[in-house]
Amino acid sequence: MESNMQYLQKKVFGYWGTINRLLMSNQDRSISERNGFELFFGVKVIAMNSHRLPGKKG
């Protein structure tokens, strides 16, 4: 369980109160991590925005 938590940096609460967005670290952004979030938290991941994270070049 702790191995999945190492990718979680912080939890950002949306304007709607019940919707949470999870920001992942720059270590891994593969499809397997998206599936890992779905299994670990028991939710359906619709989209992951990684273009605003600090440290990403591009």
> Is residue 52, in this structure, part of any structural domain at all?
no
Beta strands in 1-58 (DSSP E): 8-13, 20-24
- Domain membership of residue 46 (yes or no) is no
Could you tell me which of 56, 55, 49, 51 has the C-alpha nearest to residue 12? Answer: 49
The answer, yes or no, to whether residue 6 has pLDDT greater than 80, is no
Domain that holds residue 11: 2-41
Say if 28 falls within a structural domain: yes
pLDDT at 4 over 80: no
Q: Tens digit of pLDDT for each residue in 19-52?
A: 455 555 544 555 667 777 788 888 888 777 655 5
Number of domains, the chain: 1
Per 3-state DSSP, the chain is made up of helix, strand and coil in percentages (nearest 5) of 25, 20, 55
Maximum pairwise Cα distance, the chain? 32
8 A C-beta contact, residue 4 and residue 40 = yes
Q: Is residue 18 part of a domain?
A: yes
2 versus 32: which is more confidently predicted? 32
pLDDT at residue 1, as a whole number: 45
For residue 32, what is the enclosing H or E element? helix 31-41
